């Protein structure tokens, strides 16, 4: 019995034999990804069209970024590997019965890191994402399709949260009354964020700068590629920096049950700041640099709100693997947010060095 949804016809679309080995790959919350053990290896991904209804636009974004980076690489202005879309034999970038499968060329020599263990790893990730952003600083971000409109719109996320509270679709609201009230009390950050963003240039943003979206080379002791470009859209660099802080600074995994151990490690924060600012070098403006601290706070709060909203809605967006999984993720994000506030004086100073 076939243990994966990649059919013989899909394999044939890429010129592969029907018995080519295929296995699940990675642990993403949204799309399902498979490693096809061909020569060379190939990644095939089933796009979650509930999250990304415009799969054509998503692939078009990735191709535009790929071509821009390739042009930079050709003249020695980009030193990282480039994630490349793989067309079918007849030139299509989406295939399958529902046109929701796409292939990516496998980048050898790197691995994904799930939890940051050292300052060196954090620096490598931030430098990689900084170099990726800097190479796209002259790309017109308005040309990218907004595949998830309002993705980092904190006002909208709070509105969705309030709607989830009001509907209480699966009866989980009463048991989380205290947490809900605390979250609602943080809504003042919305006004601050909107005021700051109104002063910043619009940039191409990765929008998912988790440590596992960098390929790391143990041999080279550095990042070799920024991957998972599905959410690349116009935005503000403060969000990319904030996403690194929220996913890299805790010594625990994003969904740990050891909530008391979740904290912001200052040495990791310092490495992220150093690496990201070095990667952006002279491209980043003074206003953008000043906004990075707000990005750290905003992303921890925003993703926590999104996890808690999904918990209240019955886990309809993020993949869950156990009871209360999204609630546990939310609690961890809120602990990160609280620890940022506790250490604000010391951490904010690290962005001014």
- For the stretch 68-73, contacts whose Cβ atoms lie closer than 8 Å and that sit 24 or more positions apart, written own/partner, are 68/135, 68/136, 68/139, 69/132, 69/135, 69/136, 72/135
For the cut 50, the answer to whether the pLDDT of residue 221 exceeds it is yes
* Confidence band of 28 (pLDDT split at 50, 70, 90): low
What is the rounded average pLDDT for all residues in the chain? 95
pLDDT score for 340: 98
For the cut 70, the answer to whether the pLDDT of residue 2 exceeds it is no
Q: What is the mean pLDDT of residues 170-189?
A: 98
pLDDT score for 29: 61
Measuring CA to CA, which residue among 83, 67, 233, 204 is closest to residue 145? 233
For 23-27, 129-133, 237-241, 250-254, which range has the lowest pLDDT when averaged over its residues? 23-27
Of the candidate CATH numbers 3.30.70.890, 3.30.200.20, 1.20.1510.10, 3.40.50.200, the domain formed by 8-105 belongs to 3.30.200.20
* Confidence band of 12 (pLDDT split at 50, 70, 90): very high
DSSP string, 41-76: -EEEEE--TTT-S-HHHHHHHHHHHHHHHHHHHHTT
pLDDT score for 58: 96
pLDDT score for 168: 98
For the cut 70, the answer to whether the pLDDT of residue 19 exceeds it is yes
Q: What is the mean pLDDT of residues 276-287?
A: 96
Question: Which pTM does this prediction carry?
Answer: 0.93
Q: What is the mean pLDDT of residues 307-329?
A: 95
For 1-5, 85-89, 198-202, 322-326, which range has the lowest pLDDT when averaged over its residues? 1-5
Q: Give the integer Cα–Cα distance in Å for 131 and 141.
A: 16
pLDDT score for 161: 98
pLDDT score for 282: 86
pLDDT score for 4: 65
For the cut 70, the answer to whether the pLDDT of residue 321 exceeds it is yes
Q: Give the integer Cα–Cα distance in Å for 29 and 332.
A: 16
pLDDT score for 1: 36
pLDDT score for 30: 72
Q: What is the mean pLDDT of residues 158-181?
A: 98
Measuring CA to CA, which residue among 241, 242, 243, 234 is closest to residue 205? 234
- In percent, the amount of the chain with pLDDT more than 70 equals 98
Q: What is the mean pLDDT of residues 318-323?
A: 92
- Residue 228 in tokens: 């998972």
- In percent, the amount of the chain with pLDDT more than 90 equals 92
For 16-30, 129-143, 153-167, 258-272, which range has the lowest pLDDT when averaged over its residues? 16-30
Of the candidate CATH numbers 3.90.1200.10, 3.20.20.70, 3.40.50.1450, 3.80.30.20, the domain formed by 119-349 belongs to 3.90.1200.10
pLDDT score for 31: 81
> What does the pLDDT look like over 79-126, one tens digit per residue?
999 999 999 999 999 999 999 999 999 999 999 998 899 999 999 999
Domains in the chain: boundaries: 8-105, 119-349
pLDDT score for 33: 92
Counts for the chain of helices (H) and strands (E), in that order? 11, 9
> What does the pLDDT look like over 49-86, one tens digit per residue?
988 999 999 999 999 999 999 999 999 999 999 999 99
Q: Give the integer Cα–Cα distance in Å for 257 and 305.
A: 18
Q: What is the mean pLDDT of residues 165-184?
A: 98
């Amino acid at each position: 019995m076939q243990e994966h949804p990649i059919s013989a016809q899909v394999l044939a679309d890429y010129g592969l034999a029907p018995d080519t080995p295929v296995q699940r790959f990675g642990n993403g919350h949204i799309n399902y990804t498979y490693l096809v053990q061909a020569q060379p290896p190939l990644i095939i991904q089933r796009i979650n069209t509930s999250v990304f209804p415009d799969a054509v636009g998503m692939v078009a974004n990735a191709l535009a970024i790929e071509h821009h980076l390739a042009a930079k690489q050709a003249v020695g202005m980009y030193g990282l590997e480039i994630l490349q879309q793989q067309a079918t034999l007849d030139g299509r970038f989406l295939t399958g019965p529902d046109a929701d499968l796409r292939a990516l060329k496998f980048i050898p020599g790197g691995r994904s890191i799930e939890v940051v263990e050292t300052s060196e790893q954090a620096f490598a990730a931030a430098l990689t994402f900084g170099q990726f952003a800097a190479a796209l600083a002259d790309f017109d971000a308005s040309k990218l399709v907004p595949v998830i409109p309002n993705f980092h719109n904190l006002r909208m996320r709070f509105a969705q949260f309030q709607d989830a509270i009001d509907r209480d679709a699966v009866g989980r609201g009463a048991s989380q009354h205290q947490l809900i009230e605390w979250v609602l009390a943080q809504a003042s950050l919305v006004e601050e964020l909107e005021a700051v963003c109104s002063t910043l240039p619009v940039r191409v943003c990765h929008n998912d700068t988790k440590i596992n979206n960098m390929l790391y080379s143990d041999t080279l002791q550095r990042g070799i590629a920024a991957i998972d470009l599905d959410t690349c859209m116009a935005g503000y660099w403060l969000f990319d920096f904030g996403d690194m802080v929220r996913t890299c600074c805790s010594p625990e995994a994003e969904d740990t049950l050891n909530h008391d151990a979740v904290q912001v490690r200052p040495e990791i924060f310092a490495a992220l700041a150093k690496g990201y600012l070095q990667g952006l070098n002279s491209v980043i403006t003074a206003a953008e640099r000043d906004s990075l601290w707000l990005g750290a706070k905003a992303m921890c709060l925003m993703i926590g709100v999104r996890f808690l909203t999904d918990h209240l809605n019955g886990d309809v967006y993020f993949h869950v693997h156990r009871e209360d999984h999204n609630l546990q993720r939310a609690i961890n994000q809120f602990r990160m947010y609280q620890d940022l506030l506790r250490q604000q004086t010391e951490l904010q100073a690290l962005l001014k060095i």
